[in-house]
């Protein structure tokens, strides 16, 4: 059976969910002990996706949809502002391709 850390690291999960590594470890232990009712359901669904062969792209998209608030992430907020402000001058296809290429290595 595939484990969660076969696909993503604890550090990645911490960053993707905006939660501390100790919190991720706690949830991982609860999940492994089948105590889903003691953890956030979004985390349980994320872990289900990971063990059922979710791709990195799917995992990152799920986390973005569930856990990322642009207002809470200053870098993301700034990047979005720059994209909106300069979209007419930017090669958005090149930026998109760069991001997708970076994700292949993850």
Q: In whole angstroms, what is the distance from residue 67 CA to residue 14 CA?
A: 11
Residue with tokens 């642009």: 70
Regarding whether 81 and 60 lie in a shared domain, the answer is: no
Lowest average pLDDT, out of 8-12, 61-65, 74-78, 79-83, goes to: 74-78
In this structure, the number of other CB atoms found within 10 A of the CB of residue 46 comes to 24
Interval 6-36: pLDDT, tens: 888 999 999 889 899 999 999 999 999 999 9
Nearest Cα neighbor of 92 from 100, 83, 101, 102 is 83
Q: Residue 86: give the domain boundaries.
A: 69-106
Regarding whether 45 and 3 lie in a shared domain, the answer is: yes
Interval 40-52: pLDDT, tens: 999 999 999 999 8
Going by pLDDT thresholds of 50, 70 and 90, the confidence category of residue 65 is: confident
Interval 90-101: pLDDT, tens: 998 999 888 888
pTM: 0.64
Regarding whether 51 and 22 lie in a shared domain, the answer is: yes
Regarding whether 36 and 62 lie in a shared domain, the answer is: yes
pLDDT at 1: 64
């Amino acid at each position: 059976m595939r484990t969660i850390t076969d696909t993503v690291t604890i550090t990645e999960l911490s960053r993707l969910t905006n939660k501390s590594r100790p919190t991720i470890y706690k949830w991982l232990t609860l999940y492994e002990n089948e105590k889903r009712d003691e953890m956030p359901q979004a985390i349980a669904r994320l872990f289900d996706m990971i063990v059922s062969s979710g791709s990195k792209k799917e995992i990152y998209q799920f986390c973005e949809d569930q856990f990322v608030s642009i207002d809470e992430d200053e870098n993301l907020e700034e990047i979005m502002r720059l994209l909106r402000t300069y979209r007419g001058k930017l090669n958005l296809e090149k930026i998109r391709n760069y991001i997708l290429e970076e994700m292949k290595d993850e």
